[in-house]
Amino acid sequence: MLWVAVHLPLLSLESFAATLPAAAADRPLALMDAHRIVSANAPAQQLGVKPGLKRATALALAPHLTLAQADARRDEEALNAVAHTALAFTPNVTIQPANDAVGAEQATPDTVLLEVQGSLRYFGGHERQLQGLLQRLQRALVPLGHRLHLANAPTALGAALLARVHRRFDGVDLALTQRALDAAPVWLLGPGRTHWEALQGMGLRTLADLRGLPRSGVARRFGAALLDELDRAYGAVPDPRVCIVLPPVFESRLELFARADTTEQLLHGAGLLLDRLIAWLAAQHAFVRRFTLVMQHEPRWRRDARTPSETTFELALAEPSRDRAHLLMLLRERLAHLALPAPTLELRLHAADIARRAPPNTELFPTPRSEREGLLRLIERLQARLGHERVQCLAAVDDHRPELATVVRPADAQSVCRAHASVVAMPPATIPVDDDSIEPAPGVKVRPVWLLNEGEPLQERNSEPLLEGQPLELLSGPERIESGWWDMRLVERDYFIAQLPDGALVWIYRTRQRASNPRPGWFLQGRFG
Amino acid sequence: MDLLPPAATALPPRPVLPPVRDQPLRRMLREAPHTLHPTLWLGHQLGRQADTTCASGFAALDAQLPGGGWPRRALSELLLRQPGIGEIRLLSPCLTAVQRSGRLVMLFDPPATLSAWALAQLGFDVEQLLIINTRTKALPSGDSLWALEQALKSGHVGAVLAWLPPRLRAERLRRLQLAAHAHDGPAFVLREMTAAERPTAAPLRLALRPAGADALGVRLLKRRGPPLETPLRLALPPVLSSAVRERARAGFEQGSAALQGATFINLAGLR
């Protein structure tokens, strides 16, 4: 067994700082619980704020101190993201439970344990086995922005305890681990436990001192649990752990400390949630297909009952992805177009629709596959900024009426790119040469490229049509189109190809003279582009 | 043009180096400068970037375009008074060739509805055309140029055809031209005729005007090479049968003569 403990000494402070706007994270911060400071960051500690002070005292020392309530749920969500990141390295991940709390003090777990014996060879070969894995683990945890203590030891509890005292501890074998534990201070066993003050008061400094006492006496005085914990840490008794299981649906929330008015502020919070989503995806080698971002608004701004208390928007991807930069860019474009009814207090990210597939290869040279992906991303980006209906495709419909023969519909990025990939097999057609003698293909009705959706009425002079004051010379026609009696859009037209004096060709029609037709005359339908 | 002076100064001064080495270099520079560097050409010659162009499908035009075709990785500016004078038929051989090579063609802000049947007749694969329509937005120019720039920068689009908003500022076009360096394919921007009065960042600029039925007059306003005085007359993929075309020709010549006469009479009437 080889356990790696990832201890986050500043977990609650960091999980709180993540809810602040980016600029405010370096100011003095402190968390309090039951009107007493429980933790303070480095700038606050420089001003003299330290755990145990009363709220009023802390504010007297540092008037600009940002004070917030410790929140066990917030810490838990942050720690879950760390555990999900670890799951990408080994299936055996467990969260070291905090010591059972007695009294007011609420201890939250802040250590993740990984059993990595089986993963060593995969991550980094034989020589620098563990180093390679730990480097990758640290790199994977960078986006979450926590300060880490790493310890590895043959026993789970030993690693967890030693990670609390050492920033980096490498316990290659049991004997070394036991020696390190012997030298470890006795307070490691945790504040909040029963008899902890008595332990402190007995003059015991290190765990070796505690182990030197007679076992029966310790058991009678402090209970068997303490001895059991020591034995597990030293590897004298087995220490089975239950591994965490990845939730099937991703759900994470972030309560913002200050209300967010601008897109940038929202994106800062959303970026953190995306990091957690990506950790969850990476743990199961999956890519997200769609996710939902819920923005809960400040209640005070709900002027009337019609204003919604939250805004939900869903982001669907053409190609499943877990690329942070791409997802964040799509969010930015979508949020920029969203008018929010009120400032946002809380963000929630929800994802259930995922695709499991092999990770993309990192390619040096462009390949059809990478080009297809790049094209998909481009289309997605355009759709996110301009809206789906602005990215269009044409389709030819079998209808004689020119205004109904072409349908413009929003493009489906997937199908465009699929057609694009398959078309390579098409045989090359001959490029027409510029020769005055070629004829248009026989039997095909010639249609102009540019169409007017509604015929533009033309002026007439001596019952001859005029376009912009210029006479039109009819060259070919008439081509009669009489269709559409079944859907109440009957057309009865005679089409002609006509020439402007400068030689440009247009497509015009004359409506047929009928009693039912209110406006007979000439109309412009299209231009031959 | 501006490539020449550094190359000329790079020539060794006559007294320092022996004439044996001097002569071949000078001759090469005079006769075939492109063998020294692919982007080097003399003012009276036509620039050649044979590998970075794609054929236009019109032999007369290819002969006058530097490198023998529409340039890749650069903007080609086409000026025309109004849509519908044959510009799509002029570009269709090049664009359909791009589609046949399996790449996507994107159209930005076409000025009217496109007919899928007409495009199919010209040889386009309609499914493979993507149309980005930003005209109807409240902020037209910003978004449409953004979209065009993204498409050019991505380098994954086969060919781009964009109708630019009128009175575009020069630096915007320069920005697009820079973005086009990443775009491996032809990029056409269509602009109004009055833009000819202002300089352009695009290395190629053409003015198009109709020259009779199924024909297009092309003037090369700017190219990498000497200016071309006489406009080209290109026969477009035909709409009309040859008999009708003959009739149309006669009408066109008569019409243009009548038009000149009409102008004269108008001026006389004013006086």
Angle of CA points B50, B53, B59, to nearest 5°: 85
Residues A169, A78 share a domain? yes
Residues A312, A216 share a domain? no
Residues A208, A106 share a domain? yes
Residues A320, A209 share a domain? no
From the centroid of its chain, how far is CA B216? 14
Give residue for tokens 């006769």: B31
Q: What are phi and psi of A77, to 5 degrees?
A: -65, -40
Residues A214, A314 share a domain? no
Check CB contact under 8 Å for A393 and B130. yes
> Residue A50 falls within a domain, yes or no?
no
Hey, what are A258's tokens? 């200050």
CA atoms of A241 and A46, how far apart (whole Å): 40
Residues A202, A113 share a domain? yes
Looking at A361, A394, A421, the residue that finishes a domain is A361
CA atoms of A198 and A216, how far apart (whole Å): 17
Residues A255, A139 share a domain? no
CA atoms of B213 and A12, how far apart (whole Å): 78
> Residue A157 falls within a domain, yes or no?
yes
Residues A291, A177 share a domain? no
Does A506 lie at the interface with B, CB-CB under 8 angstroms?
A: yes
Residue of B nearest to A390 (CA): B133
Confidence of residue B142 (pLDDT cuts 50, 70, 90): low
Residues A208, A117 share a domain? yes
CA atoms of A409 and B144, how far apart (whole Å): 19
Hey, what are A129's tokens? 């086995």
Are A251 and A354 contacting, i.e. CB atoms less than 8 angstroms apart? no
Residues A204, A261 share a domain? no
> Residue A45 falls within a domain, yes or no?
no
Q: What is the pLDDT along chain A (529 residues), one digit of tens a residue?
A: 888 999 888 888 888 888 887 777 778 888 888 888 888 888 888 888 888 888 888 888 888 888 888 888 888 888 889 999 898 888 889 988 876 443 334 567 888 999 888 888 777 665 566 888 888 888 888 888 888 898 888 888 888 888 888 888 888 788 888 888 888 887 777 655 666 677 777 777 888 888 888 888 888 887 787 888 888 888 888 888 888 888 899 998 888 888 888 888 888 888 889 999 999 998 888 888 889 999 888 776 556 666 678 888 888 887 788 888 888 888 888 887 777 778 888 889 999 888 887 776 666 666 667 777 888 888 888 888 888 888 888 888 888 888 888 888 888 877 777 655 554 444 444 444 455 556 666 666 788 888 888 888 888 887 778 888 788 888 887 888 888 778 877 788 888 888 888 888 888 888 876 666 666 788 888 888 8
- The beta-carbon neighbor of B241 closest among A405, A440, A473 is A440
- Domains of chain B listed by start with CATH number: 4-35 (no CATH), 52-244 (3.40.50.300)
Number of domains in chain A: 3
The fraction of chain B above a pLDDT of 70, given in percent, is 78
Hey, what are A221's tokens? 């005085």
Are A28 and A65 contacting, i.e. CB atoms less than 8 angstroms apart? yes
CA atoms of A506 and B235, how far apart (whole Å): 17
> DSSP label at A181?
H
In this structure, are strands B75-80 and B187-192 parallel, antiparallel, or unpaired? parallel
User: HSE of A473 in the Cβ direction (CA atoms, 13 Å)?
Assistant: 22
Model pLDDT, residue A106: 52
Q: Tell me which of A452, A527, A528 to substitute to probe the interface with B (most B C-beta atoms closer than 10 Å).
A: A528
Chain A residues within an 8 Å CB radius of B244 = 475-476
Q: What is chain B's mean pLDDT, rounded?
A: 78
CA atoms of A151 and A168, how far apart (whole Å): 6
ipTM of the complex: 0.76
Residue environment code for A225-234, b if the CB has 16+ CB neighbours within 10 A, otherwise e: ebbebbbbbb
Check CB contact under 8 Å for B86 and A504. yes
Model pLDDT, residue B188: 93
Are B56 and B65 contacting, i.e. CB atoms less than 8 angstroms apart? yes
Give residue for tokens 């412009």: A524
Chain A, residues 468-497, CB within 8 A of chain B, namely 471, 473, 475-476, 497
Confidence of residue B128 (pLDDT cuts 50, 70, 90): confident
How many separate helices (H) and strands (E) can be counted in chain A?
A: 16, 22
Return all residues near B269 (Cβ < 8 A) that are at least 6 apart: none
The fraction of chain B above a pLDDT of 90, given in percent, is 6
Of the two residues B137 and A395, the one the predictor is more confident about is A395
- The beta-carbon neighbor of B114 closest among A379, A406, A439 is A406
> Residue A90 falls within a domain, yes or no?
yes
Does A498 lie at the interface with B, CB-CB under 8 angstroms?
A: no
pTM above 0.90, yes or no: no
Chain A residues within an 8 Å CB radius of B106 = none
CA atoms of B231 and B221, how far apart (whole Å): 10
CA atoms of A149 and A111, how far apart (whole Å): 9
> Residue A36 falls within a domain, yes or no?
no
> Residue A32 falls within a domain, yes or no?
no
Q: Tell me which of A332, A333, A375, A394 to substitute to probe the interface with B (most B C-beta atoms closer than 10 Å).
A: A394
Of chain B, the end-to-end C-alpha distance in Å amounts to 48
Of chain A, the end-to-end C-alpha distance in Å amounts to 75
Range of the domain at A311: 250-361
Does A515 lie at the interface with B, CB-CB under 8 angstroms?
A: no
Chain B residues within an 8 Å CB radius of A504 = 84-86, 210
Residues A471, A356 share a domain? no
> Residue A177 falls within a domain, yes or no?
yes
